[in-house]
């Protein structure tokens, strides 16, 4: 009996120590106990996916109440911090053949929702046809319309695979969780036209899977990124947790969206021996909300817990600065030579080109000039402006770029680029030719002579993607002292490479 009691005491001490250690992350962030939001929001049905309006005074969530299909509910908070009884959010809950969820509320009229909707046909009894995917849902005077999100190379793959989404508005990043195989993983998508102000016109690049510490061999889902971009919260059923699914947090440790610390369990203040998912923070950062199946009214309920004060005041991390102050940077006369060969259609090479060039275009000013030429089998003009004012037109041109040529006639492109730059040369400016390519070509003697004879024009060779041909091309040009070489291989990390190069060359 004594041996049994000693063994149980050792076990109890171990459990207490384990709970203290695992709960450390939670203890540093949260204050007090978690609280069920009560009958105004929760009942025997499943309540999931809490999303707040930008002001934090309206809550949207989904409820499983109609024959296994989820519909969007909402509640409004009064001055006493009391939430009104939930009601169906009619504009975004039309009769359809699928469930409805809100993933983000941009304002009172535009929402990121699941589904790609089509008008009802004769066999649907007036119900909208709902395909898998993501849309912008806009509500106006009680009615709604939907516009599917634009993905590059991804729409055909992703139908039926979206499990969850989150929009980090300060950085214009889209976070997804879906399953390619047996388990769900975490992904981040970056905009290919980041300067676009209209969310509905943003075209998203291919999702990039997060590192294995975050996208494990288990289910990793329901991502949420804090306003300052420094904390990534998600739910996982990985070993070492308290229950079916626990909520974890990872800290951003680098400049990119793939640079995260090993995740930590939020501890017993949030997690239980049941499932916890759908973590979010109120816009003021004072409360954390999540869904738990422990001590619920029947299925998943909405819970909240207070965060400790003072709160972090770190400003949001945004896209690279798009300003080129005239007092600091000279005018630019820029000629861009864009590879039109068929190999540019591989993987995300056009996406890399569009992203980096889009950031540069967004920074240019009316005192700057820009010319765009395509090259492949031949060299052809695409666009010319002696004052960069109509950025929307340039961005649209970048969005419609396609590649089909059989060859990469880079030397002919360089000759044309120098000719154009010389024609519009600006005294005392940064006169620069960008050759943007993924291929390898022979540098002709006439190009060698031109490069050496025109030192007032800066040639910058930009290699797209990581290939042996690209590395060989860079080595060929690196023997010229007045030629700069750049490489773009990562949508997030390299998106401002061209802009930073121009800043360096144009600084007064």
Q: Residue 484's pLDDT is what? A: 93
% helix, strand, coil for the chain, step of 5: 20, 35, 40
> What span, in angstroms and rounded, lies between the C-alpha atoms of 419 and 337?
12
pTM (2 decimals)?
A: 0.62
Structure confidence at residue 122 (pLDDT):
57
pLDDT, mean of residues 280-302: 92
The distance of Cα 163 from the centroid of its chain, to the nearest Å, equals 16
Tell me the CATH number at 161.
2.115.10
For residue 14, being part of any structural domain is answered with no
Q: Are residues 269 and 356 in the same domain?
A: no
For the chain, the domain total comes to 2
Kind plus residue range of the DSSP H or E element containing 446:
helix 445-453
The alpha carbon of residue 29 and the mean position of all alpha carbons in its chain are separated, in whole angstroms, by: 26
- pLDDT computed for residue 237 by the predictor: 93
Q: Is residue 500 part of a domain?
A: yes
Q: Which of 224, 217, 124 is nearest to 166 (CA)?
A: 224
Mean pLDDT of the chain: 82
Q: Residue 63: phi, psi to the nearest 5?
A: -135, 135
Say if residues 105 and 54 touch (Cβ distance below 8 Å): yes
Task: Give the pair of three-digit tokens for residue 150.
Answer: 């634009």
The residue segments making up the domain with residue 491 are 332-506
- Which of the 8 DSSP states describes residue 245? B
> Same domain, yes or no, for 224 and 372?
no
Return d(Cα 360, Cα 317) in angstroms, integer.
19
Mean pLDDT of the 273-291 span: 93
Residue 126: exposure state from Cβ atoms within 10 A (0-12, 13-18, ≥19) = exposed
DSSP-assigned beta bridge partners for residue 375: 339, 379
Instruction: Give the C-alpha separation, 99 to 67, whole Å.
Output: 10
**Residue 128 corresponds to which tokens in the numbers above?**
């909208």
Taking the C-alpha atoms of residue 300 and residue 70, their distance in angstroms, rounded to an integer, is 13
Do 263 and 337 belong to one domain?
Answer: no
Beta bridge partners of 306: 31, 287
Q: Are 240 and 338 within one domain? A: no
Beta strands in 331-474 (DSSP E): 332-339, 369-375, 379-385, 430-437, 458-464
CA-based nearest residue to 391, from 416, 425, 357: 357
Q: What is the mean pLDDT of residues 199-208?
A: 82
Residues 82 and 210 in one domain: yes
Same domain, 31 and 68: yes
pLDDT for 155: 46
pLDDT digits (tens, 9 = 90+) for 468-504: 888 999 999 998 888 999 999 988 788 889 998 999 9
CATH code of the domain covering residue 468: 3.40.50.410
Helical packing angle, 410-423 and 445-453, nearest 10°: 30
Query: Quick one: how many helices (H) and strands (E) in the chain?
Result: 9, 28
Q: What pLDDT, on a 0 to 100 scale, did the predictor assign at position 10?
A: 47
Any domain includes 6 = no
Of 252, 273, 307, the residue at which a domain comes to its end is 307
Residue with tokens 């909208």: 128
Domain shared by 347 and 484, yes or no: yes
Q: Are residues 271 and 363 in the same domain?
A: no
β-pair type (379-385, 69-76)? unpaired
pLDDT digits (tens, 9 = 90+) for 419-473: 999 999 888 899 999 999 998 899 999 999 999 988 899 999 999 988 888 899 9
What three-state secondary structure class fits 315? coil
Q: Is 490 exposed, middle or buried (0-12, 13-18, 19+ CB in 10 A)?
A: middle
User: Does 321 reside within a domain?
Assistant: no
One domain, residues 291 and 340: no
Distance from C-alpha of 74 to C-alpha of 50, rounded to nearest angstrom = 9
pLDDT at 149 over 70: yes
13 found inside a domain: no
Confidence of residue 248 (pLDDT cuts 50, 70, 90): very high
Contact predicate 426/365, CB 8 Å:
no
Length of the chain: 508
Contacts for 466-474: CB closer than 8 Å, 24+ residues apart: 467/438, 469/438, 469/439, 469/440, 470/437, 470/438, 470/439, 470/440, 472/440, 473/410, 473/437, 473/439, 473/440, 473/441
Q: Find tokens 């388990």 and name the residue.
A: 183
Q: Is 8 inside a domain boundary?
A: no
Instruction: Verify that 209 and 96 share a domain, yes or no.
Output: yes
pLDDT at 159: 43
């Amino acid at each position: 009996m004594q041996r049994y009691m000693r063994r149980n005491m050792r076990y109890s001490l171990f459990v207490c120590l384990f709970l203290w250690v695992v709960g450390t992350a939670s203890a540093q962030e949260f204050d007090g106990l978690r609280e069920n939001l009560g009958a105004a929001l929760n009942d025997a049905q499943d309540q999931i996916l809490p999303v707040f309006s930008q002001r934090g005074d309206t809550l949207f969530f989904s409820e499983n109440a109609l024959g296994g299909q989820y519909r969007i509910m909402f509640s409004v908070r009064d001055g006493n911090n009391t939430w009104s009884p939930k009601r169906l959010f009619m504009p975004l809950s039309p009769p359809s053949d699928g469930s409805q969820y809100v993933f983000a509320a941009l304002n009172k009229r535009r929402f990121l929702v699941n589904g790609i909707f089509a008008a009802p046909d004769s066999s649907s009894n007036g119900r909208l046809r709902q395909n898998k995917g993501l849309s912008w849902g806009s509500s106006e005077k009680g009615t709604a319309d939907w516009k599917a999100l634009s993905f590059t190379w991804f729409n055909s793959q992703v139908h039926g695979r979206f499990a969850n989404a989150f929009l980090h508005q300060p950085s214009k990043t889209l976070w997804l969780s879906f399953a390619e195989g047996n388990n769900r993983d975490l992904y981040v998508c970056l905009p290919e036209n980041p300067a676009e102000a209209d969310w509905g016109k943003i075209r998203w690049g291919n999702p990039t899977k997060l590192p294995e510490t975050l996208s494990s061999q288990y289910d990793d889902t329901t991502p949420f990124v804090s306003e300052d971009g420094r904390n990534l919260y998600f739910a996982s059923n990985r070993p070492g947790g308290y229950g079916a699914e626990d909520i974890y947090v990872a800290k951003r440790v680098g400049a990119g969206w793939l640079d995260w610390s090993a995740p930590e369990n939020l501890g017993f203040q949030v997690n239980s021996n049941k499932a916890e998912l759908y973590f979010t923070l109120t816009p003021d950062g004072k409360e954390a909300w999540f869904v738990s199946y422990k001590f619920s009214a029947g299925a998943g309920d909405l819970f909240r817990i207070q965060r400790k004060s003072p709160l972090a005041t770190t400003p949001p991390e945004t896209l690279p600065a798009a300003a080129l102050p005239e007092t600091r940077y000279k005018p630019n006369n820029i000629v861009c030579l864009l590879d039109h060969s068929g190999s540019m259609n591989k993987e995300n090479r056009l996406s890399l080109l569009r992203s980096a060039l889009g950031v540069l275009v967004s920074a240019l000013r009316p005192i700057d000039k820009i010319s765009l030429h395509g090259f492949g089998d031949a060299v052809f003009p695409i666009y010319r402006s002696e004052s960069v004012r109509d950025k929307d037109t340039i961005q649209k041109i970048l969005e419609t770029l396609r590649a089909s040529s059989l060859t990469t006639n880079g030397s002919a492109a360089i000759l044309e680029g120098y000719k154009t730059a010389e024609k519009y040369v600006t005294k005392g400016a940064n006169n620069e030719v960008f050759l943007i390519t993924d291929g390898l070509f022979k540098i002709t003697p006439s190009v060698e002579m031109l490069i050496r004879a025109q030192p007032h024009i800066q040639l910058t060779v930009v290699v797209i993607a990581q290939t042996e041909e690209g590395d060989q091309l860079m080595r060929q040009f690196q023997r010229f002292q007045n030629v700069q070489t750049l490489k773009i291989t990562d949508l997030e990390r390299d998106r401002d490479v061209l802009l930073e190069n121009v800043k360096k060359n144009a600084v007064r």
